[in-house]
Structure formats: C-alpha cells, structure tokens
Homo-oligomer: A and B are copies of this chain.
Amino acid sequence: MTVPATGPGSEKYQRILDAAVEVIAENGYFNSPVSAIAARAGVADGTIYLYFKSKDDVLRTAIDTTFDRFHRQVGEQFETLQGPREQLEYIAQVHLESHAVNRSMAILMQTEVRQSAKFIAEFSHHHLVKYISVVREVIRRGQKEGIFRQDVSDGVVAHCMFGAIDELLSSAVFTGRVYDAKATAAQVIDVLLNGIKAGSAKS
C-alpha cells in the first residue's frame, strides 16, 4: 500500500468527488454547501478537509480529472486514425459521449466551467485551449494536404466545431434528449466538411 489512506487512490476520496459532482450538478457550486456534499458522500463535513484543501479544490480536481481523461482517450486512438476527417469525427464522438459516461459531470462541465468564478475560468482555460489546438492542427494538416479549403481560418473552423458539438451536448443534457454519439458526430462533421447547401458533393 503505497497510497496514503487519504490520498487520491482511496475509495473515500472517490466517493467525495462523485458526491460533489452530483450535488453541484443539481444545485450549482455556490448553492452546494460542503455539508450537502459530505452528506451525499456519507462522511462528516470535516472529513472532506482530510482529502481536499478546500471546497474549491474538490471542484477543481473533478474538472481536471475529467479533462485529463478526455485528452487521454483522444490521444490513445488518435494516431491510428486514417485521415483528418476520421480524426475530427473521433474527437467529436468522444466529446459527445461524455453525456452518457456521466450525466452529472456533463451538466457540471456545461454550467460551472464557463462560470466566471475566477478560480475556475483561469484553470480550466488551458484545457479548452488544448482541445482547440489539437483540432486546429488537424485542420491545418488537412489544408496542407489539399483536402480542406485554405481560404478559411483554421482557428475559426476549430471554434466552430467545438462550439457546435458543445452546444448539441448542452442542449441534450438540459432537455434530457438522448442521441447516438457516433451518428451525431458523423452528422456534425459532415456538415462541417460539406456544408448544408444542396448539390454539394456528398462525403
């Protein structure tokens, strides 16, 4: 047992994180007293402070973990994928799947990550930047290879793609609608690549 009892590996640590995500998804960070999180996790208020530095720290950790998992998952498959199109589709799919993986976490990402509480905005920003960078690189490569048009900014396109997917996710999360992540990802990327104008070449 190299893991300290109160360390990140322990079962109680995870229980507290899960409870925090649930409670905050339901009520928002500022309407979630530590006592409510503790109750949900089945521990005493003070116990939270054995595992985390502060209430902030709990949320920060939850968000960091989720982003890291996302980047890791994308990173693993990424190189094996054929072309830019397949890579963009895969990113979109993983992004859209987050709903099914953990709905509470998806809600939390939609509601709290953009929230202006300084401490969140600042530390989560670099995760988003990383996402956008990956997409931009794929697009630039596609442009260099002549697969994509070169008269549109890779930055604008990357933000469009992120925004489009995130908005679909957001609306599904809040309305409770469900969808097939893979099919929806394919549809979004299809629109991004081919547009919606009638008569555009298919695929």
Q: How many of A's residues come within 8 Å of B, CB to CB?
A: 59
Complex Cα distance A201/B196, Å? 12
In the bound complex, residues from chain B placing their C-beta under 8 Å from that of A18 are none
Complex Cα distance A112/B121, Å? 12
Contacting pair A162 B167 (CB below 8 A): yes
In the bound complex, residues from chain B placing their C-beta under 8 Å from that of A26 are 116
Contacting pair A200 B191 (CB below 8 A): no
In the bound complex, residues from chain B placing their C-beta under 8 Å from that of A25 are 116
A74-132 contacts to B (CB < 8 Å) = 107, 110-112, 114-118, 121, 125, 132
Contacting pair B168 A166 (CB below 8 A): no
A150-167 contacts to B (CB < 8 Å) = 150, 152-153, 156-157, 159-167
Complex Cα distance A103/B161, Å? 24
A26-53 contacts to B (CB < 8 Å) = 26-31
Pull 11 A–B residue pairs with CB atoms less than 8 Å apart, ordered by A: A27-B118, A28-B117, A112-B116, A114-B170, A121-B174, A152-B196, A156-B168, A163-B167, A194-B197, A195-B200, A200-B200
